[in-house]
Amino acid sequence: MGVYAVTGSASGMGAASAAVLREAGHTVIGVDLRDADITADLGTADGRRAAVQEVLATCGGVLDGVAAVAGVGPAMKDAAAVASINYFGPVVLLEGLRPALARSAAGRAVVIGSNSATTVPVIDDTLVGLLLAGDEEAARERARATAGTLPAELRESSPGLSAYASSKFALARWVRRTAVAPEWAREGVLLNAIAPGAVITPLMLGSTGVTRDADVDAFPTPMPLGVFGRPEDIAYWVHQFLRPEARFTTGATLYVDGGTDAAMRPDAQPTAMTV
């Protein structure tokens, strides 16, 4: 049995992922703002540093997997905080825990992105560039500035929408770039992402105003399967990516969104290589 760290373990997809891993007999180190083995704010540099140190101390320096699930939604008023939590939270944590994953016989890491990265047309390329460059201060300033340019209706309901979609887009890019770097790939540490769609969690309910019994066909984006997702639907794939047997997949983003991305962008993938 292995030892796994799960961020966002107190609720939603993080809680479901922690439960699946525990049911499989693994030891889970939960990280969250509350009700967790390790309480830490991944939206701050000090919180990330403390989380890394405490996870390493708890696991004895050897970790079999990390599920970076913690995140916030577009309804958060401070767009800067959205960028810090959703991008720098998982990135800094995973970079800090990579050596412990490399000491495992089969280190695995999975991050939770979002299909908003490809289905919400408010990606800020400048913000994405600042995030990938690791410039948190400039990224926070840009996120706040971009939030102010959103249409009035969006500023009221989803002030962090651009920061949310852009941070998830940057996170997917970071996974793809990082997974094939020698210090990850050649050390046997596999890194992948999951892009959920409309999953009934406290975050989604708070961000969209949707209720648990809402009409799925009235949702703003297409839902080909005719149902909303559940946290357990994401937890299943988190577990699969973290399994030792998942030995030949890295740098991938798996859409677990009921077909929304495929319905909205049917010809977006695959994209042919050009010379």
Q: Cβ neighbours of residue 113 under 8 Å, at least 6 residues apart?
A: 168, 171, 172, 175, 193, 194, 195, 196, 253
4 a catalytic residue: no
Give the integer Cα–Cα distance in Å for 93 and 50.
Answer: 10
Distances, alpha carbon 120 to alpha carbons 123, 136, 168, 220, in Å: 7, 23, 11, 11
Q: Cβ neighbours of residue 55 under 8 Å, at least 6 residues apart?
A: 5, 29, 31, 38, 63, 97, 100
Give the integer Cα–Cα distance in Å for 181 and 187.
Answer: 9
| Among 4, 87, 164, 255, the one annotated catalytic | 164
Nearest Cα to 223, choosing from 183, 264, 174, 195?
264
* Dihedral sign computed on CA atoms, order 60, 26, 20, 109: positive
Residue numbers annotated as active site: 164
